[in-house]
Amino acid sequence: MRLFYASASPFAAKVRMAAHHCDIDLELVPTDTGAEPADLLSANPLGKIPALVLPDGKGLYDSAVICDWLDRQSGHRLVPQDEAGWLTCKRIEATADGIVDGAILTVYEVRYRPDEKRHQPWVDRQMGKAWRGLAILEDMIDDLGPRPTTAHFAVAGLLGWFELRFKGEWQERHPKLQAWFADFPNTFPAFHDLQPFS
């Protein structure tokens, strides 16, 4: 199965880690979303990565949806099936994904908008979502057990990406997340190869 991805994408890193954990091979297609290539748009009309092409040729997109599909394929190796475990996993995954959703818009603001069109209050609002989300994650991170779930991969993708884009800005405020992130490669050694990088 082909996965449209970019090496720096936290959402793509999350899916790649999840697939690795499930022993599911993916054919990687490096993708520049800015160029909106036709094969990406036919897999995902929204033009976003990650996008996966399933064996029937149809696209599947949004990292949470792809991970849910990988979970089904793997006999639930990614998402706990008991209600308490499911709620913890999904709350943390949604929080991690939402943090990136806010912060990435501020990256795009700089990348795609000319200086004179930037609106700082809007940037601050988006980063406010990200910092509030990180504060909540700091409180929730102890709820993640040793067995990797989609929540682990979402948080690892997020923090790996923050290391690239906001290095030095998050660690001091979030010592528990910092410790969790430093230890994650011990539970999941493939993180070294699959983490976001640019």
Ligand X SMILES: N[C@@H](CCC(=O)N[C@@H](CS)C(=O)NCC(=O)O)C(=O)O
Footprint on this chain of ligand X (rule: CB under 6 A) = 9-11, 33, 47-50, 62-64, 97, 104
Instruction: Tell me how far, at minimum, the Cβ of 186 lies from ligand X, in Å.
Output: 26
The one-letter code for the residue type at 128 is: G
Between the alpha carbon of residue 185 and those of residues 7, 14, 150, the distances in Å are 18, 14, 15
Question: Smaller CB distance to ligand X: residue 69 or 145?
Answer: 69
Min separation Cβ 185 and ligand X, Å = 21
Among residues 10 and 80, whose Cβ is nearest to ligand X?
10
What strands lie across the sheet with 27-30, from one edge to the other? Answer: 27-30, 2-5, 51-53, 59-61
| CB neighbour burial string for 27-61, b if at least 16 within 10 angstroms, e if fewer | eebebebeeeeeebeebbeebbbbbbbeeeeebbb
In angstroms, what is the minimal distance from the CB of 44 to ligand X? 8
CB of 11 to ligand X, least distance (A): 4
Shorter beta-carbon distance to ligand X: residue 108 or 182:
108
